[in-house]
Structures are given as C-alpha cells and as structure tokens.
Amino acid sequence: GYRVSLQGNFFGCNQTYMTFPEYNPRRHIKLDPPLNIQSNATASKCQIWWSVWNVPWYLAEILQYELQYKEYSMSWEVALNKTLPSSLPQVDIEASELRSGIAYAARVRCKVSENENSYHSQWSEWSQTTVFQRADVPKVSEKILNIKTMQYLFIPLTFGTLFYLFRNCKLSSRYVIFILPALTFPHQLLSFSHSIVCTMGILR
C-alpha cells in the first residue's frame, strides 16, 4: 500500500497531515469509458459491441459492463439498464424488446466486477452512443403471392370443369386416367384445360 499525506504552511508553520495512512490504488480504480461502440440490427435481434482502451489484460478479464438503451427521442432518465453477466465486450438485445420502426440509442460503461476481491473500482463514464433500429421481417414478394393466388383460383375451376365433363360428356375410364395427375402451376392448369376442350371436341 501507499501512504498519502498533505503538507502545507499553516499560520507560518510547516505541518504534515496524514490523509490516508494506508492507501491501496487497487481499491480506488476508475477506468476510461469504452470506445468504438457499434451495433447491427436484424429482424431477430440487435448486436452491440465495443472495445476498452488503456486497460491491463488482467483487468480486462474481470470487467463488468452495464448497458443502457432507450428510444432515440426519449430522455436517458427513462432508459433501460442491463448489467451484463459476462466480461465479453458485446451484448445481444432480442427483437421482442424493441418496437418496430423506432430508432434506439445505446451506450455502455464499465468497472471491475463486484465479485473480484483484489480490485475495486467505480463505474467509468458512459461511452459514446450508437443508434440502431430493428429490421422488419421481409415480406413475401409479389411474384410468389401472385403464383399462390393463381393456384388457388385455377385448381377449383379445373375440378369444376372435370365435374361438368363427368356429368355431361360421360367420359370413359381411359380418359379419366388421363386427366387425374395432380397439377400445381397455373400454366399447367391452362394447358390442361385446353386439352380437355380438345378431348371434348374429339368425343363429339
């Protein structure tokens, strides 16, 4: 440990005052705030990471971080705080904790873990902020939607045509076997309907 004293001239006399008889720097640490905070938001979560500067490796392994985030337009007084369980300089925020279409700001600070007995520190100042927004879930493309719509439209029409032919044209079993294979795409259904019309013409 160290001994910290204060010396001065008081009323014409030099005097020494013992301020800290046993001062241990390990118990009075204040780290610099984290640097280079960045974020990447997807539809499922937002990843935030940062770095620390001027921190010895033996302290970097026992650091504790606190994340603070809020809606960008709100005050920090109403921000949410998360004390991270790991000393890794990163954290994930689940998409369920974020509102769609809203921009958020986040910042982080650090100190030596409270579970560490050899060192003690107070929280650092807050880092700079990073701004992010939850990505929306991708929408189904119009092309795929149109194909599905055509399928749902033509399948019942095709079976309706088959029902009409069975009742009015009295197709033989060999023609029934010909028209039974399952059709899934609109252009196949159109071709199939055309072949039915041709078959009707032949039968007549």
81-124: pLDDT as tens digits:
999 998 999 999 999 999 999 999 999 999 999 888 888 899 99
**Minimal CA–CA distance to 82: which of 98, 96, 65?**
65
Are residues 37 and 19 part of one domain?
no
Shared domain for 46 and 15, answered yes or no, is: no
In terms of Cα–Cα distance, which of 68, 56, 46 is closest to 26? 56
Same domain? For 12 and 70 the reply is: no
Examine the domain organization and report whether 35 and 122 are in the same domain.
yes
Do both 19 and 55 map to the same domain? no
- Tell me which residue of 104, 29, 33, 101 sits closest to 66, measured CA to CA: 33
The CA distance from 99 to 43, in Å, is 11
pTM of the predicted model as reported, rounded to 2 decimal places: 0.60
Domain extent at residue 20: 1-25
Out of 133, 155, 171, a domain closes at 133
Q: In 3-state terms, what secondary structure has residue 192? A: helix
What is the rounded distance in angstroms from the CA atom of residue 126 to the CA atom of residue 123? 9
Same domain, 98 and 173: no
Considering the domain architecture, whether residues 37 and 129 belong to the same structural domain is answered as: yes
Q: Domain check: are 43 and 114 in the same one? A: yes
- 56 and 116, same domain (yes or no): yes
- For the chain, what is the domain count? 3
Residue where one domain finishes, among candidates 81, 103, 133: 133
The answer to whether residues 42 and 21 belong to one domain is no
* Domain at 56, CATH number: 2.60.40.10
Which residues in the chain show pLDDT less than 70?
Answer: 1-6, 10, 17-21, 137-204
| pLDDT score for 63 | 95
Residues 72 and 96 grouped into a single domain: yes
DSSP state of 27: G
What tokens does 32 get?
């610099």
Cα angle value 119/123/126 (rounded, 5°): 145
Is residue 68 domain-shared with residue 122, that is, in the same domain? yes
